[in-house]
Amino acid sequence: MTQTSDLDRVTMIVLRYMRRPLFALLFVYSVGIMGMALMPGQVVDGETTYMNLFHAFYFFTYTATTTGFGELPDGFSDEQRLWTIFCLYTGVIAWFYAIGSLIRLVQNPYFIQAMDGFRFARKVKGNVEPFVILCGFGDTGSLLARGLSDHRMRAVILDSDPERIKALGVRDYTVAMPGLHADASAPKHLLAAGVEHPACRALVVLTNDDDVTLKIAVMARHLNPRLRVICRSSSAPHEANLRALDNVTVVDPFEIFAQLVYWAIARPELHNLNAWFVGAHGVELGAPIQVPRGTWVLCGYGRMGHWIHRYLQAHGVGVRIIDPGVDAKVAGEGTAIVQAYADHSALVTAGIDDAAGVVVATNRDSDNLNTLLAVTELNPEAFRIVRQNSHENQVAFDAARADLVLQHSLTTARRILKLLISPLVQELIDWLAEHEPARTEELVARLQAAVGAESPHLWSVRLVPGEAPAVTEYLDAGGAVALGALCRDARSFPEALPCEVLAVRRAGQSIMLPEKDFSLGVGDELLFCSVYWVETMLQATLHNPYTLRYVVTGLDEPRGYVFAWLEDRLQRHRGRFSAPASRRPPPGRGR
C-alpha cells in the first residue's frame, strides 16, 4: 500500500471541508451569469440588447468584490436590475457560507497538524547543513538544544507535548531548529525528521518513557542502520536492551552524576577542566574547588546513590549512608548505615558533625533542600553537594548556596553535547582520569597559555577531501604537515593561533595530547580547543592550498595561472643571466 504523504493529507482535508462551499459558489455564479445573459436589456434602435457571457462574468466579478463600477457596458433594464438584486443577495449568502467553512477549516486541529507536518518535512528536506534529530524537548532536550545552538549545530526536534513545541518557537537560537508536535516512535515522523537524510549526523532520544526510548532506537536502527543513536536511560533492564543494539550509545545520568561527585572530591583539577570544557557558569580554568578530605555522608541510596557509593568506595573514600530503605547486604560490609529519612536526628546519628561533606542525592528536590538546611545548622563547615532534579527549581537551589549543585538534566545534556562535538572529548577526560594529576595540570597550563581567560570552543575536523581538501591534496602529493605548522597564523607567520590540539584519532586509535611535531595523515580526526574565531581561520588553511603551503613552508607562492607563469619566466630569466661562480670576474677588476 502506498503511504499517504503530508501534502496528500492536507489536500484531502481541504477538499472535504471546501467541497460544498465551492459547489455552492459555482452554482450561484453559473445561475447568475446565465440569467444575466438571458435577461433582456435596453432597446437600442428598436432592438432589445443582451449581455454576452464575458460581460456577465465581468460584472459578477467586480460585484463580488463590492467594488461597484456601475452598470457596464451599458445601462441596465429593469429586468436586469431585478436579476442583479437577486444575484447579489444569493452571492452574499454563498460567500458567507464559503468564508465560514474556510475559517472552520483553518481552525481544524487535524488540518493544523497536517500543515505543520508538511511544512516541517519540507524544511528538513531542503536542509543542506549537518543536523541532529532531537526526540524530546523537556529540561534535558532544551538545555542540549541551547548547547547545540552555541556551537552553531542545527537540530530537528520532535516532542509529543504541543506546549513544548510552542515554547520552541520563542527561543532565540542562533541556527534554525524546526520542531514538530508528533510521536517520535512513529516511523513516518522519524522519516519526516530526516532519519534517512544524508546530512543527519545523529539521533538523540531524551524521552521520559524508557519503553518509548527503546522503540525509537529500534525504529531508527531499521530505518538507517548507519545513523548514530544516543539514548538516555534510567532503567537497568532498558539500558541492557539499548546497549545490545549496534551503533547505539547509552548515557546513564546516574553514572555521570556519580563520576562528577568523585572527581569533585578526589580529582578537583579534573573536575575543573571538565566543567570548563562544557562551559559551566562561573568556572575559571586552573581554579578548582577546594574539597576537604575525610568521611562523607550520602543521603539517598537509589540508583544514583548506588553509583556514588560504588565510585567513592572503589577509590578509598569513606561513606556513611542515610536512607529508609537501604539494604545492608547491598551496601556491603564496613559501611555505616542509618535506615531513616535524612532529617536532623538521622544526620546526627550518621556523624555529620565530623564529616568532611555530604552528598544529598534523593529524587525529590524538596527533600534535598530540606536536608541542606539541616546540614547547614548542624555542621556549617561541611562541603555540600546536592542533586537538582528539576530545572524549574533553579532559583531555590541558587538561594541554598550549596558548594556544588549537580543538575540532573544539565549534566546529561553536557555529556551528550560532548559526544556530538566529538567522542574524543570524553575519551580525553577518561584518559586523564586514569593518569596522574600532573598530566591534567600540564594540559591546564597549555590551555591557559593558548586560550587565556576566554571561553573555550571545542570542535573537531577530519582530514578528508570533504572537510579538508587542501590538506588531503597536499599529503597525497607527498607533502608532510606537522601539527604545529597547521596551527600557525597565516596573518602573522610564524606565530601560532590561540588553540591546542587535544587528541588525534587515526585508524581507530586515539592519540592524546600530541606534540607539535606530530605528522598528520589523511583520515585523521583532530580535536581542537580554541577561542571561537580560530575555527574560521583554520578552515581557510584547511581549504586553501596557498594558505596551507604558506603556513607549512613560509613561502608565499604566486596564485593563479598567469602569476605562476610570470614567476616561472622570471626565475628562468634570472638563471640565464646569472653567470656561474667560476666564470665571474674577481672583485676589484674591470670588465
Same domain, 70 and 163: no
Tell me how many domains the chain contains: 4
**In 153-166, which positions are buried (b, 16+ CB within 10 angstroms) versus exposed (e)?**
bbbbbbbbeeebbe
In a domain, 112, yes or no: no
Same domain, 211 and 177: yes
Same domain, 154 and 238: yes
Same domain, 341 and 453: no
In a domain, 29, yes or no: yes
CATH number at residue 16: 1.10.287
Same domain, 532 and 440: yes
User: pLDDT tens digit string along 463-498?
Assistant: 999 999 999 999 999 999 999 999 999 888 889 999
Which residue's C-alpha cell is 587542501?
Answer: 470
Structural domain including 538 reads 430-553
User: pLDDT tens digit string along 232-282?
Assistant: 887 777 788 888 888 889 998 888 888 888 898 889 999 999 999 988 888
CATH number at residue 184: 3.40.50.720
In a domain, 143, yes or no: yes
Same domain, 373 and 440: no
Same domain, 50 and 129: no
Same domain, 297 and 394: yes
Can you give the pLDDT at residue 578? 53
CA–CA–CA angle 488, 491, 492 (5° rounding): 70
Q: Could you tell me which residue, 249 or 589, shows the higher pLDDT? A: 249
Which of 61, 83, 107 corresponds to the end of one domain? 107
pTM check: above 0.85:
no
Report how far Cα 56 is from the mean position of its chain's Cα atoms.
60
Beta strands in 225-351 (DSSP E): 228-232, 248-251, 296-299, 319-322, 336-338
Same domain, 22 and 129: no
Can you give the pLDDT at residue 452? 84
In a domain, 241, yes or no: yes
The C-alpha cell that represents 265 in the structure block: 572530591
Same domain, 389 and 439: no
Same domain, 188 and 298: no
Same domain, 323 and 410: yes
Average pLDDT over residues 550-575: 66
In a domain, 464, yes or no: yes
CB 455 within 8 A of CB 284: no
In a domain, 588, yes or no: no
Can you give the pLDDT at residue 199? 92
User: pLDDT tens digit string along 306-349?
Assistant: 889 988 888 888 899 999 888 777 777 768 888 898 889 999 99
Confidence of residue 568 (pLDDT cuts 50, 70, 90): low
Q: Is the pLDDT of residue 561 over 50?
A: yes
Instruction: Please name which of 332, 280, 324 lies closest in space to residue 301, comparing C-alpha atoms.
Output: 324
Can you give the pLDDT at residue 582? 45
Which of 107, 130, 147 corresponds to the end of one domain? 107
Which of 107, 140, 158 corresponds to the end of one domain? 107
In a domain, 564, yes or no: no
CB 358 within 8 A of CB 327: no
In a domain, 543, yes or no: yes
CATH number at residue 508: 3.30.70.1450
pLDDT more than 90, % of the chain: 45
